[in-house]
Amino acid sequence: MLMPALGFFVAVGVALLPPSWTVRAQAPAAPRMAASAAAGTSYLKGGPRGVVKNTAGLTIDGLMVQLISKQTSIRTTVYTDEVGRYEFPPMEAGEYVLRVPRPLEFKAYTREGVHIHGPTPLPDIIVERLGRTNLAPSEDFLPPVPELLPQLTGAEWLSNMPGSEQEKAAVLKACSIGCHSIDYPFRMKFDEASWPKFLHRMLDFSPRLITQPSKNNYIGSQAGADLIIEFFKRNRGLNTPLPPIRPFPRPNGMATRAVVTEFELPWVGVNIHDVAGDRDGNIWFTINRSPIIGKLDPKTAKVVSYRVPPVQPPRNAPKDASGMASAAHPGFQAIYPDKAGIVWFTGTWAHSLGRLDPRTGDIQQVQTDLLFPEEDMAVTHNTGFSPDGSFWKTGHKKIYRWDPATVFTTGKPTKTYPLKYATSTYGNFVSPDGKYFGGGGEYIVWLDIATGEVRERKLSVAGKGRGAFDPFGTIWVGGDRLAKYDPKNDALVEYRLPTPYTNLYSTRADKNGHIWSGEMQGGRVARFIPKSGQWIEYVLPSPWSLDFNSWIDNSTNPPTFWYGDEMGYIVRIQPLE
């Protein structure tokens, strides 16, 4: 079903915004009787296949079916089509677990000891309704039983809780990008005196490490914090029952024509931040709160880890840096494998830049702000990596460029460009041809590197602003809305997201100009097609979609989307069209 999504023009350029459409949610359609005459072969992918039905023998569309390899623990998920059929791509022969992940309105289904060899026909999967409520329409609402609650996304929790849109927007803004998904506090219960104490730790400290006080950190005001506290006191008190739950509808159409693969990592409690692919097909990733840079081989699921030592202050640092670097909490953020095979990364808490040579294991790190205290500017966090090897970042109302030949010795930028309005941007990125710099945050910043022309365009709602250039030179950044800046027409457009109570931390553009991003708190990855205004949402088998920065493999057709979920696994989405 196609659904309109709202968009906004900001007064930079003047044009009419065409309507946007989304392939996503329709109310769970009435199941259909299996039609063997319609089985055909056009949907086949060449792997194990079967049909999903309910206890009345009716086929179920838009349901996820998953195989978990006993050998590698790789989880592969596909979706049932309009007549309940599903089929996997060719799978390695061996033993698997067959299951329905996130069955929501159905009871859990798991079958152990499934042996796969080629296009194995699998027995019909029969799913049983989880339960019904007394409130019509009963098919849409489920009892809030323990089997259901862990499957809900943060967005589904917000959608089902009583409260104003202002309260829910405050919860999303304050609790959506820190330590965990916002489903976590909904699964807690406290008395009235305890909720403010619990939320104080969440609201009044810096994110993730929660070690430094930062009053009303993301919400920005005590009035906003009070909205959140009262919302949870009212909805999750010790004696407050949960209402009947209406999960978001199952996917349909193009949103079901994809293969989702999840790769487990050999550690518990890791927090993946960024991923990027190298020339050999490996996926490199950073861990935000551990001293590890990782490399995944998707063919084997083998993971190689590189332990990064604490940063040591440069010997030639002109200011007293004793203990400033080496005492920082370990953890990393941006990652970029260059054409020569060198892997560049940034340290989140040590404010550092690192260089890893995988062939030798040699690691170099530097804190440029210690080398160059006049500017107190570090190449760190969401640094933009240019195809020519240079590093780009904003700060102190400037755009900075560093050269890899001197960044470890002098720390000084080789070029700066003044900004008039933006103090800095959270996101920093360079166009694939190396001609333009872009940044996102409160403002979208655009720089023509050759001419030095700078433009700053203020967003109506500031976002995190990690983003990218598409193949046509347009900037796309994430936030509460998807923002587009077209430098050719000097036009800024903001699109509301198709699923309520979600936001985007980052965006990526593929070779076709399609825009991809994990919808934080939504348990889905969005693909936006600018030419048609269409949204396609791939519902995930795990309910989080905490995508802090992704990577697109443009060597495949269609392109393949990769992201590392903060919950500790790596996800690949292979659309079939």
For the stretch 504-516, pLDDT in tens is 999 999 999 999 9
Residue 351 clears pLDDT 80, i.e. is over it: yes
Torsion over CA: 30, 31, 34, 37 (sign) = positive
- Distance (Å, whole) CA 251 – CA 539: 7
pLDDT of residue 27: 37
Q: How confident is the model at residue 318 (pLDDT cuts 50, 70, 90)?
A: low
pLDDT at 181: 84
Burial of 386 (0-12, 13-18, 19+ CB in 10 A): buried
Cα angle for residues 424, 521, 156 (degrees, 5° grid): 145
- Tell me the HSE value of 328 on the side-chain side, using a 13 A CA sphere: 24
User: What mean pLDDT is predicted for residues 503-528?
Assistant: 97
Query: Which carries the bigger pLDDT value, residue 1 or residue 252?
Result: 252
Q: How far is CA 509 from CA 285, 464, 496, in A?
A: 19, 17, 18
**Residue 16 confidence (pLDDT):** 28
pTM of the predicted structure, to 2 decimals: 0.91
Give the span between the Cα atoms of 69 and 77, in whole angstroms: 12
pLDDT classification of 324: cutoffs 50, 70, 90 = low
- Average pLDDT (98-102) is 98
So where are the chain's domains? 162-235
Residue pair 192/234 in contact (Cβ under 8 Å)? The answer is no
Residue 391 predicted with pLDDT over 60: yes
pLDDT at 353: 96
Q: Which sign does the torsion angle of CA 51, 56, 60, 64 carry?
A: negative
pLDDT at 432 over 70: yes
94 in the Ramachandran plot: left (φ > 0), alpha (ψ -120 to 50) or beta?
left
Identify which has the larger pLDDT, 412 or 38.
Answer: 412
Q: What percent of the chain is predicted at pLDDT more than 70?
A: 89
Least confident residue range of 65-69, 174-178, 337-341? 174-178
Query: CA–CA separation, 104 vs 101, rounded Å?
Result: 9
Please, what is the average pLDDT of the chain?
Answer: 89
At residue 44, the pLDDT reads 59
CB atoms within 10 A of CB 166: 10
Residue 68, judged by CB atoms within 10 A of its CB (0-12, 13-18, 19+), counts as buried
For residues 217-241, one letter each, b for 16 or more C-beta atoms within 10 angstroms of the residue's C-beta and e for the rest, the string is bbbeeeebbebbbebbbebbeeeee
Written as one letter, the residue type at 451 is T
At 323, the pLDDT band (50, 70, 90 cuts) reads: low
d(CA 348, CA 271) in angstroms, rounded, equals 12
What is the C-alpha separation between 71 and 114, in angstroms, rounded?
13
Once rounded to an integer, what is the mean pLDDT over residues 471-488? 97
How far is 431 from 448, CA to CA, in rounded Å? 10
pLDDT of residue 203: 87
Q: How far is CA 297 from CA 70, 302, 304, in A?
A: 17, 5, 8
Beta bridge partners of 57: none
Q: What pairing do the DSSP bridges indicate for beta strands 20-23 and 534-539?
A: parallel
| 261 HSE (CA, 13 A, CB side) | 18
Give the tens place of pLDDT for each residue, 188-229.
999 999 999 989 888 888 777 767 788 888 788 999 999 999
pLDDT tens per residue, range 271-307: 999 999 999 999 999 999 999 999 999 999 999 999 9
In this prediction, residues 252-264 reach a mean pLDDT of: 97
